[in-house]
Amino acid sequence: MPAKDIYHNIVRIALEKDGWRITDDPLRLSIGSRSVYVDLGAEKLFAAEKEGKKIAVEVKSFLNPSPVADLEDALGQYVLYSKILEEQEAERILYLAISFTVFREIFSEEIGQLLLRRMDLRMIIFNQKKEEVVQWIH
């Protein structure tokens, strides 16, 4: 099992504050003889629904010297996990969780803007100091 990201527990707390129930920590996905681990699985029940919304969350810190290399790694995992989820748990939606600081730095630049425009990228932006969700990008 891979090591937890440094923001793992912060994102978990932020999701719980936002009304989500953590169901998996981590969420194991198996395909053939291989397994991958998404950081968190969660669900939220809504009063008007019999079944709630299910999500999977991959947490990324972007602490390496090259933010582009971190972005490449994060997107590779995001694509892989989303394709496995489409096949195995189509009702579960994958999100990439990053700090507001990283979002402001990377996604305000042209490379980030391109991804937001051209890719089906769902994100949770969190404040690491307040341990709260700041924004959902669908």
d(CA 121, CA 82): 10
Beta-bridge partners for 38: 27
> How would residue 120 be classed by pLDDT, with cut points 50, 70 and 90?
very high
Give CA angle at 62 (22, 106), nearest 5°: 110
Is 48 among the domain residues? yes
Is 39 among the domain residues? yes
Is 40 among the domain residues? yes
Residue 55 sits in a domain whose CATH number is 3.40.1350.10
Q: Please, what is the average pLDDT of the chain?
A: 94
C-beta of residue 10 within 8 angstroms of C-beta of residue 128:
yes
Count of structural domains, the chain? 1
Is 68 among the domain residues? yes
pTM: 0.94
Is 4 among the domain residues? no
Is 2 among the domain residues? no
Write the pLDDT tens digit of every residue in 110-119.
999 999 999 9
pLDDT at position 50 over 70: no
d(CA 12, CA 131): 9
Return all residues near 16 (Cβ < 8 A) that are at least 6 apart: 22
The whole domain housing 38 covers 10-137
